[in-house]
């Protein structure tokens, strides 16, 4: 019922002003006749496909109208409701609705606009009430009022109004100007001259200034002397000829709207008195009410005629009957439906509507429902025609009541649904057969329209996907496909549409029900041109498990190949192992860039061990760091901070991303997995920019793959630990043997050194006549001897350590300050002698850390550390001494900004006699400090970077 198709009775409806709107089952407009288009405010073709409920139904009325609409899909309905046009105007319409012949596909609604009738009835009621009030106050006008109200037409009302104003009241001449047409043009409708002559719509006209004043000001205008008023000079000759002297103009106003003007002219100048003005104002009000009442009556009669025409011309059967079954009225369509030549023949032949029912009990059911609800919608029954044939009808009815509210009859609209019923029964039989086949089929069958919307899913759909099929009916298939498959889906769809009857075998991912992606294998066939199908047919089955097994086998096979390749690199250098591991991680996760980083135990810096080639080639950063602080490293290092994998599939909008340095490669997606390795701390494998989203499967793949690397690294760590233990044992044995030798040497040196130092002291104290040069030499000898004694003492302490004699709580802050005081002469001497500039910084904890130790030994150890730090800064620098508590352990740290040490030097720094100072160094400073730390249950930690400085920490 679209396009240029015309209903056989549509022209009659247009002519009668009956509104016709045809809606589909979704409430979209299929067709509108001209009367409906005028109501809605647009041309008929512009209204097609618009949403009736969204655009033309006031929101507060929508729920009620949707219920009526749903009922009409099943049967006829009737109601009175409001329609809103595109301009926002709301109109009241009486509707008669019926479903389209194709059951459930839509609704045809016929309506009559009774807005003006309702409004005018209200206005008439208000006007009459106002008239009654005025008549009570002005009894003198009763006769005039009765004569005006008695009129039956606008012309008669105007004439009676003029005749009812006698000259005795001072109205020698009376005229009515009415506003006519849509443009509200003022026209002299009637005028009575002093001699009684009646003029109709011609001759005398007031000048524009006076008329505009009356129409726009809405106030009474009085002119006591017409000859002296410039507004009427154009009519002065006519005024003199008629002997008219004064004028009173009163606007005719109905509900605040000017509809015309009452003109009263008198031969006397005494007309314009206060009481006269009030009287004629009241009279004008009565005239206005009478004119408006007449107009409303005419419109009401016209509406009644239109209703009668609709009743007679309606294509559906309509009748009225009493509660006891007596037919009162029937239209031609009902007579034709029941096989009678005319409505009159039907009324004469049928005395009781019960006789029309094939099952009379159905009439009783119908009447009972009508009496209970006041209305009946979609009541189906079988009626017998005059020739004995049986017809199915669908009835919509409403109960009729008298002014006292007593039910006396009902009005019914009947729609012949016999053919529809036969087709419905045939469809039901065919559908049951089809359903039986589909319910037992292993595959799902779907039907799609040309736009790809789902029009049908077979029962097995619910069994496979776990949701009712009706939830997807009407939805486009595109919304269910994986974004990566969608371009291929659209290509195949276009190919199918271009080749009617062709088929395609495909495998796609879809998401339904639970929200998980599932693989389906389908055969898609274009049967849009097949009249019996008119759809694209899709036969498909769920192959998710089959695909998953295939993919898992492929991934496992590739992972084993990569792990085998990694295992062959077990004896190569670690850098090559890391590069190969990163290459395998990128391949397994289908990523384009990645890095492997390491966080050693107890350290705060993250070291980069391997980067993908693309990172190194395309990265435009000026400085590519190899180490980064853990606390400030970006989002990629989060797994090292939390110990948990990190998966980010929208990097740019992640709330914790720090941003990327200038020149860094852009990142779209990122996956980081931490791998703890014994003896190595934690490895972090980071891959990025996979073409699709990362999943938990990628995390599992990385963990499984890197697990083989973890085993290799842990085995290497164990081997290195074993080597270190073996070296430590050998070192201990060497130290024991060297200690035995050193003990004897120290004894012999002390025996030889004692008389030397004794005689030097004796000479310096007893020989005052020594020359300055001799005294200087003796002082140097004494210093050298004391240095030798000190070295011997340190040797004895190193190789024959004595158990601490006395321990007490020692304030590390006090130890730090004392050590700096003892070393101060040294750095001042160096500053003066060699021009070195030293800056000493104290970062001592506000809460003084306490340790249990011998204060003197601990101070000696710190002095050794300070001296070493000063020696390590040949050009001067900054010496920092700090104390504090870290992870429950007290520490004292001495840091310098000197030359620093490489890893080999750091590993040997604690060994006795190992020194980098040449002949000036003894190699005992750090060895003694390490021995003292261990004596009190502590340790000496060394951190050094070549060219940056060293940190020596007593913990």
The pairing of beta strand 90-99 with beta strand 106-113 = antiparallel
pLDDT confidence band for 151 (50 / 70 / 90): low
Angle at 313 between CA 307 and CA 318, to 5 degrees: 75
Residue 143 has pLDDT above 60, yes or no: no
- Least confident piece of the model among 682-686, 720-724, 747-751, 754-758: 720-724
Instruction: For residue 66, give every residue at least 6 positions away whose Cβ sits within 8 Å of its Cβ, in sequence order, or none.
Output: 27, 53
Q: Give the strands of the sheet with 407-416, arranged side by side.
A: 327-330, 317-322, 407-416, 390-401, 375-384
- The CA distance from 214 to 208, in Å, is 10
3-state secondary structure of 399: strand
Instruction: Please tell me the CATH code under which domain 443-542 is placed.
Output: 3.30.450.20
Query: Within a 13 Å sphere around the CA of 491, how many CA atoms are in the beta-carbon half?
Result: 6
pLDDT (average), residues 917-924: 65
Question: Do residues 36 and 20 lie in contact, with contact meaning Cβ atoms separated by under 8 Å?
Answer: yes
For 77-111, the pLDDT digits (tens) are 998 889 999 998 999 999 999 998 877 789 999 99
pTM over 0.85: no
Domain boundaries, the chain: 10-113, 130-298, 314-416, 443-542, 548-800, 801-954
The tokens of 867 are what? 């001296």
Mean pLDDT computed over 150-155: 67
Does residue 576 carry a pLDDT above 60?
A: yes
Residues 610, 601: Cα–Cα separation, whole Å: 19
User: What whole-number distance in Å separates Cα of residue 858 and Cα of residue 819?
Assistant: 10
Let me know: does 496 contact 508? Beta carbons within 8 Å. no
The pLDDT of residue 535 is above 80: yes
pLDDT digits 0-9 by tens, 590-618: 888 888 888 887 788 888 888 876 665 66
User: Is 80 exceeded by the pLDDT of residue 832?
Assistant: no
137 by DSSP, 3-state: which? helix
Give pLDDT, residue 52. Answer: 92
**Which of 614, 604, 660, 670 has its CA nearest to residue 634?**
660
Spatial separation of the C-alpha atoms in residues 723 and 728, rounded to whole Å? 9
- Cα 679 from Cα 682, distance rounded (Å): 9
Sorted by sequence, the CB contacts under 8 Å of residue 18 that are 6+ apart come out as 33, 35, 110, 111, 112, 306, 309, 310
Closest CA to 284 of 449, 162, 111: 162
Whether the predicted pLDDT of 567 surpasses 80? no
- pLDDT digits 0-9 by tens, 303-347: 777 777 777 878 889 999 999 989 999 999 999 999 999 999 999
Indicate the burial class of 612 (C-beta count within 10 angstroms; 0-12, 13-18, 19 or more): buried
Residue 261 is encoded by which pair of tokens? 């003007």
Between residues 11 and 427, the one the model is more confident about: 427
Helices (H) and strands (E) in the chain, counts: 27, 34
The pairing of strands 808-811 and 29-32 is: unpaired
Rounded to whole angstroms, the Cα distance separating 172 from 169 reads 8
Q: Which residue, 221, 212, 342, is CA-closest to 280?
A: 221
CATH topology of domain 801-954: Heat Shock Protein 90 (3.30.565)
Question: Could you tell me the pLDDT band of residue 260, with boundaries at 50, 70 and 90?
Answer: confident
Residue 658 pLDDT grade (very low, low, confident, very high; cuts 50, 70, 90): low
- In 10 A of CB 126, how many CB atoms? 13
What letter would DSSP give residue 801?
Answer: P
Q: What is the pLDDT of residues 468-507, one digit of tens each?
A: 888 889 989 888 888 888 999 999 999 999 999 899 988 8
pLDDT at 341 (0 to 100): 93
Range of lowest pLDDT (29-38, 366-375, 542-551): 542-551
Residue 938 has pLDDT above 90, yes or no: no
Q: End-to-end CA distance of the chain, in Å? A: 94
Residues 847-868 have pLDDT tens digits of: 778 888 888 788 888 988 998 8
Question: What local confidence, expressed as pLDDT, does residue 830 receive?
Answer: 64
Residue 648 CB neighbour total at 10 angstroms:
22
- The radius of gyration computed from the CA coordinates of the chain, to the nearest angstrom, equals 56
pLDDT at residue 615, as a whole number: 60
Asked if residues 349 and 45 have their Cβ atoms less than 8 Å apart, the reply is no
Average pLDDT over residues 214-223: 80
Residue 372: band (very low, low, confident or very high) from pLDDT cuts 50, 70, 90: very high
Q: What fold does the segment set 548-800 form as a domain?
A: Beta-Lactamase (3.30.450)
Token representation of residue 272: 């314009």
Least Cα distance to 673 among 760, 591, 761 occurs for: 591
Contact 898, 877 (CB under 8 A): yes
CATH number of 10-113: 3.30.450.20
* pLDDT at position 732 over 60: no
- As a whole number, mean pLDDT of residues 890-894 equals 93
Return the CATH class of domain 130-298: alpha beta
Please state which CATH class domain 314-416 belongs to.
alpha beta
Residue 59 scores a pLDDT above 70: yes
194 burial class (0-12, 13-18, 19+ CB within 10 angstroms)? middle
User: Is residue 225 scored above 90 in pLDDT?
Assistant: no
Q: In angstroms, how far apart are the furthest CA atoms of the chain? A: 172
Q: 801-954: same fold as 443-542?
A: no
Tokens describing residue 675: 């791998």
pLDDT band, residue 4 (cuts 50/70/90): low
% the chain with pLDDT above 90: 20
Q: What is the mean pLDDT of residues 201-210?
A: 59
Q: How confident is the model at residue 655 (pLDDT cuts 50, 70, 90)?
A: confident
pLDDT in tens, 413-445: 999 999 888 888 888 888 787 777 767 777 888
């Amino acid at each position: 019922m679209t396009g240029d198709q015309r209903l056989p009775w549509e022209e009659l409806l247009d002519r009668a002003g009956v509104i016709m709107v045809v809606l589909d089952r979704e409430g979209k407009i299929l067709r509108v006749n001209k009367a409906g288009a005028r109501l809605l405010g647009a041309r008929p073709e512009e209204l097609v496909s618009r949403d009736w409920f969204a655009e033309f139904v006031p929101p507060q009325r929508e729920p009620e109208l949707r219920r009526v609409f749903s009922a009409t899909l099943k049967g006829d309905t009737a109601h009175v409701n409001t329609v809103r046009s595109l301009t926002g105007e709301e109109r009241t319409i009486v509707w008669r609705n019926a479903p389209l012949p194709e059951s459930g596909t839509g609704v045809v609604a016929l309506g009559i606009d009774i807005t003006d009738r309702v409004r005018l009835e209200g206005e008439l009621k208000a006007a009459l009430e106002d008239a009654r009030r005025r008549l009570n106050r002005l009894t003198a006008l009763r006769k005039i009022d009765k004569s005006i109200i008695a009129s039956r037409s606008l012309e008669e009302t105007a004439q009676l109004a003029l005749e009812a104003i006698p000259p005795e009241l001072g109205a020698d001449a009376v005229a009515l100007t009415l506003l006519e047409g849509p443009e509200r043009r003022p026209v002299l409708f009637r005028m009575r001259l002093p001699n009684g002559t009646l003029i109709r719509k011609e001759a005398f006209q007031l000048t524009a200034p006076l008329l505009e004043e009356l129409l726009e000001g809405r106030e009474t205008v009085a002119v006591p002397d017409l000859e002296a008023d410039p507004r009427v000079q154009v009519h002065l000759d006519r005024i003199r000829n008629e002997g008219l002297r004064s004028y009173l103009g009163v606007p005719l106003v109905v509900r605040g709207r000017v509809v015309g003007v009452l003109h009263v002219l008198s031969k006397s100048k005494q007309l314009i008195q206060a009481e006269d003005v009030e009287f004629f104002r009241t009279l004008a009000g009565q005239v206005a009410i009478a004119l408006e009442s007449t107009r409303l009556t005419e419109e009401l009669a016209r509406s009644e005629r239109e209703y009668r025409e609709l009743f007679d011309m309606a294509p559906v059967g309509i009748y009225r009957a009493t509660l006891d079954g007596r037919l009162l009225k029937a239209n031609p369509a009902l007579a034709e439906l029941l096989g009678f030549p005319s409505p009159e023949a039907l009324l004469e032949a049928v005395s009781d509507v019960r006789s029309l029912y094939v099952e009379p009990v159905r009439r009783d059911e119908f009447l009972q429902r009508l009496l209970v609800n006041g209305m009946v919608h979609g009541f189906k029954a079988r009626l017998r025609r005059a020739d004995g044939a049986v017809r199915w009808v669908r009835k919509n009815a409403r109960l009729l009541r008298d002014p006292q509210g007593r039910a006396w009859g009902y009005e019914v609209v009947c729609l012949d649904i016999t053919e529809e019923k036969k087709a419905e029964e045939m469809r039901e039989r065919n559908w049951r057969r089809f359903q039986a086949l589909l319910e037992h089929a292993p595959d799902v069958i779907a039907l799609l329209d040309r736009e790809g919307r789902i029009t049908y899913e077979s029962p097995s759909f619910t069994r496979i996907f776990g949701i009712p099929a009706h939830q997807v009916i009407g939805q486009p298939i595109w919304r269910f496909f994986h974004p990566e498959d969608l371009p291929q889906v659209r290509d195949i769809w276009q190919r199918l549409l271009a080749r009617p009857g062709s088929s395609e075998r495909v495998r796609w991912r879809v998401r339904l029900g639970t929200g998980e992606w599932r693989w389906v294998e389908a055969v898609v066939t274009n049967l849009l041109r097949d009249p019996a199908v008119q759809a694209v047919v899709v036969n498909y089955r769920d192959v998710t498990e089959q695909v998953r097994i295939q993919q898992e086998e492929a991934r496992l096979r590739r992972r084993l190949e990569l792990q085998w390749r990694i295992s062959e690199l077990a004896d190569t250098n670690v850098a090559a192992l890391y590069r190969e591991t990163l290459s395998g991680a990128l391949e397994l996760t289908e990523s384009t860039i990645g890095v492997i980083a390491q966080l050693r135990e107890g350290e705060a810096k993250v070291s980069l061990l391997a980067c993908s080639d693309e990172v190194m080639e395309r990265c435009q950063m000026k400085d590519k760091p190899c180490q980064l602080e853990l606390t400030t490293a970006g989002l990629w290092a989060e797994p090292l901070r939390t110990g948990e994998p990190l998966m980010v599939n929208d990097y740019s909008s992640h709330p914790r991303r720090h941003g990327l340095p200038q020149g860094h490669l852009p990142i779209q997606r990122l996956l980081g997995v931490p791998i703890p390795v014994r003896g190595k701390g934690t490895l972090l494998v980071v891959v990025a920019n996979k073409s699709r989203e990362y999943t938990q499967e990628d995390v599992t793949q990385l963990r499984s793959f890197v697990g083989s690397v973890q085993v290799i690294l842990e085995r290497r760590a164990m081997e290195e630990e074993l080597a270190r233990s073996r070296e430590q044992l050998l070192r201990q044995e060497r130290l024991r043997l060297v200690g035995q030798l050193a003990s004897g040497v120290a004894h012999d040196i002390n025996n030889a050194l004692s008389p030397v130092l004794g005689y030097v002291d004796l000479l310096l104290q007893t020989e005052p006549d020594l020359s300055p040069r001799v005294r200087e030499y003796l002082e140097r000898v004494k210093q050298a001897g004391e240095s030798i004694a000190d070295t011997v003492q340190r040797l004895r302490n190193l190789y024959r350590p004595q158990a601490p004699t006395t321990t007490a709580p020692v304030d590390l802050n006090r130890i730090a300050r004392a050590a700096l005081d003892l070393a101060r002469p040294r750095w001042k001497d160096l500053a003066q002698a060699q021009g070195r500039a030293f800056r000493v910084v104290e970062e001592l904890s506000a809460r003084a850390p306490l340790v249990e130790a011998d204060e003197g030994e601990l101070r000696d150890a710190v002095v050794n550390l300070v001296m070493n730090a000063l020696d390590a800064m040949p050009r001067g620098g900054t010496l920092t001494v700090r104390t504090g508590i870290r992870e429950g352990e007290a520490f004292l740290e001495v840091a310098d900004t000197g030359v620093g040490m490489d890893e080999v030097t750091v590993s040997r720094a604690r060994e006795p006699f190992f020194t980098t100072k040449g002949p000036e160094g003894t190699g005992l400073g750090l060895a003694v400090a390490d021995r003292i730390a261990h004596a009190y249950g502590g340790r000496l930690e060394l951190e050094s970077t070549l060219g940056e400085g060293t940190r020596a920490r007593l913990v």
